[in-house]
Each structure stands twice: as structure tokens, then as C-alpha cells.
Amino acid sequence: MSAAFDPSSYSEQLTAKAQRLRELLAPFAAPEPQVFDSPQAHYRLRAEFRLWREEGQRHYAMFAPGEKHKAILIDDFPIASQHINELMPRLKAAWQGNEDLSNRLFQVEFLTTLAGDAMVTLCYHRPLDEAWEVAAQTLASELNVSVIGRSKGKRLVIGRDYAVEKLEVAGRTFSYRQPEGAFTQPNGTVNQKMLGWAYEAMGERSDDLLELYCGNGNFTLPLATRVRKVLATEISKTSVNAALSNLDENCVDNVCLVRLSAEELTQALNEVRPFRRLQGIDLKQYDFGTVFVDPPRAGMDPDTCELTRRFERILYISCNPDTLAANIAQLHDTHRIERCAVFDQFPYTHHMESGVLLVRR
């Protein structure tokens, strides 16, 4: 379900989202949410297009839900960043003029950043050879981007396999590697607002932070400056490697990052079983005052939700307000909502990001 791109209706849509969060959190006596808006156009830093062949040429295409054989051909994409819109026609001209680039090309992915970096992934139904690599190197130089070539079982990298983002939080600029194929927040402007809200909600602390689902360290970097120590967990190897690089590049040295799922960490803290990945880490040495969670759309599973109950403060960023409300219902007898916010990551859709700070009663 989504609304058409219509900047004239943006304010009305954002008001409706804020009202939806109010209604979902009303049973828990939540305070009035802070509302963080999005740019009304050119806000999305990544985009993915299938290619559709018509009149002997490949065109950018998207498909309505359930319409796999009826393509919507696209020349520009107003919700995507200006950088993506600038790259789209130049890339199209390049593949139209070069058989090595166009042969069996079926999908294109763009990743850009507020810092001006860009990466283009080209996906093929054929093996990639030396001729493709030569053409891709020329393309990367002409467009000033990194180029990733993907075919079955193979990935070729021209330049870097990550884009560099820089985000400012409370006057400090943090640098992030955003790996190809890994999750990153799509709306950089709103992401920066989310980081600022979380930083403020955390406050200056003298105890420790437990972070679940830390990804590439998006929230870890600024939140680590607010606490004594951080124990962060993430299950994706790609995200863990990016997070370790990001911690090093930003000289953040009070974070211990462990490749565990939230469920596994719950077992470790409950001493259900030991994990080799925790070897050398004494969980009892941490004085956790806050747990930070940014779970997938399904929210926290019941056991992880119960784990968070033992913490004085729960800072929760959610991409699904319904599962957020369900998790709060499980915690409501021990924790109250002190702050809440709406972050409009996805204008012109029903999706929204939200945040709450829960404090023990």
C-alpha cells in the first residue's frame, strides 16, 4: 500500500502517521510524539530497478505489486537522490553504447550518500569476463563511482565494495562504510534526525549500554560517546565487518562487538549455554543501565522482550509501529513511555519509523 508521489499532500500524510502512532500508544499513556519530517523529494539514497527490453533497448523499470509482466518504464525517479537521478541517464547511455555492459544485464542498483559517494551494482544472467571488466573500469572512471558486477556465484569490484557516508550528530561528524548488499537506512536526512533524537534520549550516562541488532554501527557510534562501555551484537558478518571498520575509523574504543543474534545473547545472559564467540568477555563486568534495540519488522521475539525488561531504560527504534505496540504491551507493567517520536523515513507510503524511550516504573 502506498500513496502516489504528491508533495502537495505531504503534510497531510505526515499528520496521519503521527496520529496513527498516537492511537497505537494511547493505551500506554504515551506523551505527545515528536515528529521529524523528510525532504519531500530526492530523499531516498538507494534505488533498485529491473531492466525491461522494448524496441531493442533496455529501460529502467518497476512493477506494481502482482504485475510481473507489466512494466512501468522510468526515465527519472523523483523520490531518489539527485545523485541517482543524475547517474541514471548517463549509465543508460553507457550500456546502450557498449555490448559488454548491456549483454544480459537485468538489474541495476544504486547506493548514494549525503557525503556525495556512489556505488552502482550491475546484475547479469551471464558470466562476467575480462571485456566486461575493462568496460566497467571505464564506466567507473567516467561516472566517478564504484561499480560492482554480479553474476551467478561471482562478484567483481571496480573501486570499493562500500559507499562512504558522513553524518553529523551533536556537532561531531561520524564516517560510515555502507557495504554493497547490506542494509543501510534509505533516507539519510531522516536517519541523521533519528541519530540526534537517540543521542538526546540517551543522555550523558556513567553506566554501560547493551545494543542489539547494531548493523554497521549506525547508532553505535554516537551512542558510545554517551556511556562508559558498549556491548553490541549483530548476526550479519558483512554488517559486523563494516561496524568494526567504522569503530576503528572513528576512533571509538569503548565498544565490544560480538556476532550473536539477540536470541543467542539472551541465552548467554541467562546462562543457558556458553558461546565460543563470547570467549574472553565477562558479561558480569558490565553495568548495563540501558538497552538499545532496532529490531527487524517482526519486532523483538518474546524472550528478547523479556530480556529487555531487566534494564532500567529501553531505547527502542522501530520500523513497524504495530510490533512496537505489541512489544510495549508486554513491557507495560514494568516500564512507562517517557519519550516517543515519529521519523518519516518513507514518505508517500504507510511505512514509518518510530522511537520510544521506556523507563522502569
Ranges of H-type helices in the chain: 10-25, 82-96, 99-102, 130-143, 188-202, 220-224, 237-249, 262-269, 302-309, 321-331
Residue 35 φ/ψ, nearest 5 degrees: -120, 125
Dist CA 72 CA 248 (whole Å): 44
The residue among 261, 269, 347 whose CA lies nearest residue 298 is 261
The residue among 285, 301, 282 whose CA lies nearest residue 293 is 301
Helices (H) and strands (E) in the chain, counts: 10, 17
Q: Which cell goes with 22? A: 498516537
Contact at 8 Å (CB) between 62 and 49?
Answer: yes
Dist CA 277 CA 259 (whole Å): 7
Instruction: Tell me which residue has cell 562508559.
Output: 228
The residue among 274, 309, 317 whose CA lies nearest residue 288 is 309
Dist CA 268 CA 276 (whole Å): 11
Four-point Cα dihedral 71, 75, 81, 82, nearest 10: 180
Dist CA 331 CA 324 (whole Å): 11
How are strands ordered across the β-sheet holding 154-158? 71-74, 57-63, 46-54, 105-112, 118-124, 146-151, 154-158
Dist CA 12 CA 272 (whole Å): 50
The residue among 36, 26, 25, 23 whose CA lies nearest residue 324 is 25
The catalytic site residues sit at 319, 353
**What DSSP designation does 32 have?**
P
